């Protein structure tokens, strides 16, 4: 079975802190994603990486950066956390070919106070 | 990706079959039909996908209408663990890599 793990299930940080969220997948998938999920807003893509060291901005990249130095690991960085970044963060991975199903991690519930 | 329409909520008794419908009337020929589910406070979980033919896996079955404008996810015997929000997505994946979930169907399972 595909496994996608995220470094923390719950995280509480203060405004202005730098926050690192890590995601690891064990299926040798080329593509990896970071989403955030908020009530009423659904899934929103923050960043996408189609391979090592490759990244593309999603719909809401402001305030975030990413790093993909190894195929299995995709990190999301909040440069200076703000209260409007309180959210559920979801990492996903997939192969870059049909049917393109995505496999998600368990999520990190981040609260910024 | 094509827009999908699902009922907001459904109820089922435990150990009964559940049929979750989805309409995707604007689906294109290259769109796969994917189903995901999300348990409370968990990440979404891939359930099943299909293109034209009906599909079975260990979690569920997917019945696709001949014109592909609708599909039905079938859980053969609902358990309490199946209580979740179920999302249907018509997704080509190649050009638009981002998954977009609609509101989904919240399934309640009654013991």
Write down the pLDDT at residue B93.
67
The answer, for A104 touching chain B at a CB cutoff of 8 Å, is yes
Whether residues B101 and A42 touch (CB distance < 8 A) is answered with: yes
Write down the pLDDT at residue A16.
97
Low-confidence ranges of chain B (pLDDT < 50): none
Residue pair B97/A48 in contact by the 8 Å Cβ criterion: yes
Q: Which residue of A has its CA nearest to B46?
A: A103
Q: What is the pLDDT of residues B99-109, one digit of tens each?
A: 788 889 999 99
* Contact partners, residue A34, CB within 8 Å, separation at least 6: A21, A23, A45, A46, A47, A48, A58, A64, A66, A74, A76, A89, A90, A91
Residue pair A74/A34 in contact by the 8 Å Cβ criterion: yes
- The Cα A35–Cα A46 span in angstroms is 5
The answer, for B99 touching chain A at a CB cutoff of 8 Å, is yes
Write down the pLDDT at residue A48.
94
d(CA A39, nearest CA chain B) in Å = 10
């Amino acid at each position: 079975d595909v496994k996608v793990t995220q470094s923390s299930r719950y995280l509480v940080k203060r405004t202005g802190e730098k926050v690192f969220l890590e995601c690891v997948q064990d299926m040798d998938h080329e593509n990896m994603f970071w989403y955030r999920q908020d009530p009423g807003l659904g899934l929103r893509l923050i960043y996408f990486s189609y391979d090592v060291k490759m990244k593309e901005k999603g719909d809401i990249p402001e305030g975030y950066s990413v790093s993909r130095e190894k195929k299995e690991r995709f990190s999301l960085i909040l440069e200076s956390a703000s209260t409007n970044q309180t959210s559920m963060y979801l990492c996903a991975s997939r192969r870059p070919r049909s049917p393109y199903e995505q496999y998600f991690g368990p999520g990190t519930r981040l609260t910024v106070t | 990706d094509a827009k999908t329409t699902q009922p907001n909520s459904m109820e089922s008794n435990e150990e009964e079959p559940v049929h979750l419908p989805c309409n995707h009337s604007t689906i294109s020929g290259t769109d796969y039909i994917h189903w995901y589910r999300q348990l409370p406070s968990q990440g979404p979980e891939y359930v099943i996908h299909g293109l034209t033919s009906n599909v079975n896996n260990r979690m569920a079955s997917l019945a696709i209408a001949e014109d592909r404008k609708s599909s039905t996810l079938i859980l053969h015997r609902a358990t309490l663990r199946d209580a979740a929000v179920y999302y249907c997505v018509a997704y080509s994946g190649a050009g638009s890599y981002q998954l977009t979930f609609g509101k989904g169907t919240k399934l309640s399972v009654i013991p």
